[in-house]
Homo-oligomer: A and B are copies of this chain.
Amino acid sequence: MQKPIFYHAGCPVCVGAESELIDLVGIENLEIVHLGEKKEQISAAEDFGVKSVPALVTSNGHVLHINYGASLEDVKA
- Measuring CB to CB, which residues of chain A are less than 8 angstroms from any residue of chain B? 4, 16-17, 20-21, 23-25, 56, 58-60, 62-68
Contact = CB atoms under 8 A, between A and B. Distances in A.
Query: Looking at A25, A58, A64, A67, which has the most chain B CB atoms within 10 Å of its CB?
Result: A64
A20 B66 CA distance: 13
A25 B23 CA distance: 10
A26 to B, nearest CB: 9
Contact of A20 (B16, B17, B23, B58): B58
Given A65-B67, A67-B65, A58 B23 contact: yes
22 contacts: A4-B24, A16-B62, A17-B64, A20-B58, A20-B62, A20-B64, A21-B64, A23-B58, A23-B59, A23-B60, A24-B24, A24-B25, A24-B56, A24-B58, A25-B25, A63-B67, A64-B66, A64-B67, A65-B66, A65-B67, A65-B68, A66-B66
